Structure 1
Amino acid sequence: MRLPSRFRVPALTLLASLVAACGTVPSRDASTPLTFVVVRHAEKATDDPDDPSLSPAGRTRASALAARLRDAPLVAAYATEFRRTQQTAQPVADAHRLQLTAYYARGPAGEIAARWKQAHRSGTVLVVGHSNTVPDLVAALCGCATDAMDETEYDRMSIVRFDADGRARLEVQRYGAPAGP
């Protein structure tokens, strides 16, 4: 099919612009530094031994996470393929009108973190994982040591902030009702 002449130049210009944009790496915006907020999924129910949903306490914690991140410049939300992580992240994604993106829970933390750091140059990125994956993901994001996570710990919020030079700083906070022993 041949385009009429009045469409040829604009179509070629558009195509050239798209190709150029695909090869461009976004620069870090110093006014909104790149920040990763990494949490474990909220409290889980006992409805399914393989893929449980959130318990009432977990739904309350997911709402607390959404409230905590209400004013954050959220640009992406990631959760593993399991219901409990997706249900933890969904209220945050909904509040920011973002599509929730799934990632493979058992994927190599270093590769996943590198992909996220390449894809996002500024703004806040939410990551929801599991007690056995969150410490490795945080360590891979910040290039620092992190503490193991107990199976009863649901309230840890690891915040990895990058400065304009790409140096990472880890801050650990708590959110929602206290959890654990």
Structure 2
Amino acid sequence: MKLALPLLLALALLGGCATTPPPATTFILVRHAEKVPDGSKDPELTAAGLARADALAARLAGVPLDAVYSTAFRRTQQTAAPTARGHQLAVVTYDAKEPAADFSARLKREHAGQRVLVVGHSNTIPGIAAALCSCEVAEMSEAEYDRLTTVRIAADGKATLEEGKQ
């Protein structure tokens, strides 16, 4: 009779584990904040852009993040930095010219079940989001700095796309 109780407890615990779904993988994607219009290929953020980067960090302060990605440009690094600092994470630099399908496949492979912020550009973020969710994503204009795109991928591989404003 003494063996029956531990066996029942073990089965109950295993049964509870079997009903807990694996965590979804979540990617939060944003374009860099407002940049200085100095004509250079690597401008810094404007005062408004720095404020937007801080506002993004404040918005994501309560969201557990496992990684923060940014291209090597100053404007993307400056956009990612406050959020990364707030989560005590290093910014992982990725190549802005890496094909969206390749980068997205790597993100999915390396961050299954995690939450990741990706900071990119108006001509890269829609493609990365589309590759992550296998869905249509609207193009982004050069004047758009406030779109926040979230792609959630369930354990069964089904992805959902949410778009809103920062």
TM range (shorter): 0.7 to 0.9
Answer yes or no: is the 8 Å Cα contact 2:61–2:83 preserved in 1.
yes
Q: How does 1:1-181 map to 2 (within 5 A)?
A: 30=21, 32-47=23-38, 49-175=40-166
Answer yes or no: is the 8 Å Cα contact 1:30–1:163 preserved in 2.
no
Aligned partner of residue 66 in structure 2, secondary structure: strand
Normalising by structure 1, what TM-score?
Answer: 0.78
Aligned partner of residue 92 in structure 2, secondary structure: strand
| Cα root mean square deviation, aligned | 1.3
Answer yes or no: is the 8 Å Cα contact 1:105–1:133 preserved in 2.
yes
The amino acid across from 2:147 in the alignment is: R
The amino acid across from 2:140 in the alignment is: M
The amino acid across from 1:89 in the alignment is: A
- How far apart in 1 are the matches of 2:62 and 2:154? 20
Answer yes or no: is the 8 Å Cα contact 1:89–1:128 preserved in 2.
yes
Answer yes or no: is the 8 Å Cα contact 2:36–2:46 preserved in 1.
yes
Instruction: Determine the structure 2 residue equivalent to 1:178.
Output: none
Q: Which runs of 5+ in 2 are unaligned?
A: 1-19
Percentage identity across paired residues of the two chains: 52
The amino acid across from 1:130 in the alignment is: H
**Partner deviation per Cα, 1:35-84 (whole Å, 9 max, x = no partner):** 00000000001356110010000000001110111111100000001000
The amino acid across from 2:130 in the alignment is: A
- How far apart in 1 are the matches of 2:104 and 2:24? 16
Q: Count residues in correspondence.
A: 147
- How far apart in 2 are the matches of 1:107 and 1:161? 22
- How far apart in 2 are the matches of 1:117 and 1:96? 21
Alpha-carbon distance, 1:165 to partner: 1.0
- How far apart in 1 are the matches of 2:143 and 2:134? 25
- How far apart in 2 are the matches of 1:73 and 1:90? 16
Alpha-carbon distance, 1:162 to partner: 1.1
Answer yes or no: is the 8 Å Cα contact 2:44–2:78 preserved in 1.
yes
Alpha-carbon distance, 1:123 to partner: 2.5
Normalising by structure 2, what TM-score?
Answer: 0.85
Answer yes or no: is the 8 Å Cα contact 2:23–2:154 preserved in 1.
no
Alpha-carbon distance, 1:87 to partner: 0.4
